[in-house]
Structure 1
Amino acid sequence: MTTTAARPTSIGAPAYSETMPCEPESARRARLLISAALNTWGIGDLVDTATLIVSELVGNSVQHTPCSLLRVTVSRPAPHRVRVAVIDKSRTVPDMTTPVDDAEEGRGLFLIDVLSDRWGCDRHSWGKTVWAELESTRAVAATAFRG
């Protein structure tokens, strides 16, 4: 099993990332990474939503790609915005469908669409990044208060 420890970025927007096996058990590690980063940044109000989103993103990568590794990242592209992403080497782009009422699968991207402010998929020559962004009212209030 190949993994790397979570590391903060040294330049650019604040961020943490960790490489994990493309296995269902990695969803737990991804949730811990997201929770630790958001609490460190003082925006723990987003933990429940962000950890649910990262669980769905990891689950999609595990279920729909043949990859052996995935990378989870959490960043703050703006003081009030958090981006959660899962990167894998599959070029297969996720496709959101409207789930049937009694379906037990097919709700992941639908749920991400409902919970996030926006989400998307960035294609790369070597794979893709699927991401979702959330806005923190706590960070917005702190920014407005300082100004």
Structure 2
Amino acid sequence: MITPDRPGGGTHAGENFVVTFAAHPDRVGQIRHMLRAILRYRRLEHLTADAELVASELVTNAIQHAPDQRPITITVDLDEQWLSLAVRDHSADWPRPAEPVPSQENGRGLLLVGRLAGSWHCAAHTDGGKTVSCRLPVSDPSPARRLLPRRQHTPPLEADGSGARQSASDRPPSQDASLSQS
């Protein structure tokens, strides 16, 4: 179910899309397709590659770590400065960036999210679930994000935590890393 909320009117300022979906791996591609359509419609195609990768990682983590088949929700917020992505699941397990071994195929998702978005945030909910979120700037990519090649194989990231989670002092105020209850 896609629920657009357009308080900003005809521009992309303040647009919000909420999609609730079954916790199934097939949904990852459908979420990428939806996100690509939103960005194309809003003429923000330059964000597509990063946004698809970040959304894929957040949604895949939610599906893999969900304790049951309860629905997952992704919220896409778009304003003049930021594309914000938030994925809510029903797992109480806090996400942790892994220290991947070069021979492993997985374990790099949150490192990639941190590298592309600059930081990520997790908020716990009183029902035992959580929301993992991040934001991408709508403007041209930052120098750090331009370092990653597009549409090519990306070598494993260093496991030193660079780009993974920034301290609250390194983040804009809305990216506070503290545990919040809602």
Question: What TM-score does the superposition give when structure 1 sets the normalisation length?
Answer: 0.83
Residue in 2 aligned with 1:33?
Answer: 34
Residue in 2 aligned with 1:88?
Answer: 89
Question: Are the equivalent residues in 2 in contact too, given 1:56–1:112 (CA < 8 A)?
Answer: yes
Say which SS state the counterpart of residue 39 (structure 2) adopts: helix
What CA deviation, in whole Å up to 9, does each residue of 1:42-96 have, x standing for no partner? 21110111011111111101111124210111102x4121111211111211111
CA distance in 1, matches of 2:68, 2:134: 21
Matched to 1:116, the amino acid is A
Matched to 1:52, the amino acid is L
Compare relative contact order (CA 8 Å, sep 6+) and give the higher one, 1 or 2: 1
Residue in 1 aligned with 2:5?
Answer: 9
Matched to 2:96, the amino acid is D
Structure with greater proportional strand content: 1
1:111 and 2:112 equivalent? yes
Say which SS state the counterpart of residue 137 (structure 1) adopts: coil
Consecutive aligned runs of 4 or more in structure 1 exceeding 3 Å deviation: none
Measure how far apart 1:98 and its partner are: 2.4
Residue in 2 aligned with 1:137?
Answer: 139
Measure how far apart 1:22 and its partner are: 0.5
CA distance in 1, matches of 2:40, 2:86: 17
- Relative to structure 1, the CA distance from residue 67 to residue 36 in structure 2 (aligned partners, 3 Å threshold; closer, same or farther) is farther
CA distance in 1, matches of 2:99, 2:59: 20
Gaps of 5+ in 2: 9-13, 141-182
Structure with greater proportional helix content: 1
CA distance in 1, matches of 2:68, 2:51: 23
CA distance in 2, matches of 1:37, 1:67: 29
Matched to 2:82, the amino acid is R
Over aligned residues, Cα RMSD in angstroms?
A: 1.6
Residue in 2 aligned with 1:143?
Answer: none
Instruction: Give runs of aligned pairs for residues 35-114 of structure 1, distance below 5 A.
Output: 35-68=36-69, 69-76=71-78, 78-114=79-115
Q: Percent identity?
A: 32
Tell me the number of residue pairs that the alignment of Structure 1 and Structure 2 aligns. Answer: 133
Measure how far apart 1:124 and its partner are: 0.9
Gaps of 5+ in 1: 139-147
